[in-house]
Structure 1
């Protein structure tokens, strides 16, 4: 992860995001997995998010994404899940009827983890010793 900046901010923000297919159906394989990966990569590029790593498993997706402070991790997940579901169901219409009748592709649950180059302990120690530094 590299340091980014804009006119008023300097940041290094990365998120590990995991989301699953509804009912944990193992449908993300072969062409569906390729379509999922491509959709997520295109969405991240279109929104200006850095897709550092991605792994599409049969029933879930792992993403490592970097974004500006204005972008909430929940917004990233919501956008990626929404756009990828529409594209996958458009490319593979039988999938919707077979496993996901009347519902979306993704489970509403999502895991978010922050990724950084320094540990929690380092941040705590830095904050606790601020008065000693002045």
Structure 2
């Protein structure tokens, strides 16, 4: 699947522009992304940039994806979760993300 690899590359390239380090895990219907970013960049700004730029680049590279799957809606849903690591080490969070085998159930 060339498209899947390209989309993953686009996302990781954008994240690397403003993050110190990252761990990502793609699940069937969503992503887990752990980003270590400077405290001067608001988490909501990172999400906004990531969503806008990835949608622009993916739809530019694969216009048929937008026509087939996203005629009415955008690439990203309106929902997202942002949290801070607090007293948890980055290694613990990274292990948690890597261990995810299926989507989190609500």
After TM superposition, the score normalised by the length of structure 2 is 0.72
**Paired position in structure 2 for 1:93:** 63
Unaligned runs of 5+ in 1: 1-29, 120-134
2: distance between equivalents of 1:32 and 1:89?
A: 11
**Paired position in structure 2 for 1:34:** 5
1:1-134 equivalence runs, <5 A: 30-47=1-18, 49-118=19-88
> For the aligned residues, what is the CA RMSD?
1.9
**Residues 1:50 and 1:31: Cα distance change in structure 2 (over 3 Å):** farther
Q: Which structure shows the bigger proportion of residues in helix conformation? A: 2
Q: Deviations over 1:12-63 (max 9, x none)?
A: xxxxxxxxxxxxxxxxxx333322221122112222x124201122321110
1:34 is paired with a residue whose SS is helix
Count of aligned residue pairs for this structure pair:
89
Q: Deviations over 1:40-94 (max 9, x none)?
A: 22112222x1242011223211100011111111111111111111111112211
Unaligned runs of 5+ in 2: 90-106
Q: State the 1:104 CA deviation.
A: 1.4
The answer on whether the counterparts of 2:20 and 2:38 sit within 8 Å (CA) in structure 1 is no
After TM superposition, the score normalised by the length of structure 1 is 0.58
Q: Deviations over 1:89-126 (max 9, x none)?
A: 1122111111100431001111112113459xxxxxxx
Larger of the two Rg values belongs to structure? 1
2:84 is paired with a residue whose SS is strand
Q: Which structure shows the bigger proportion of residues in strand conformation? A: 1
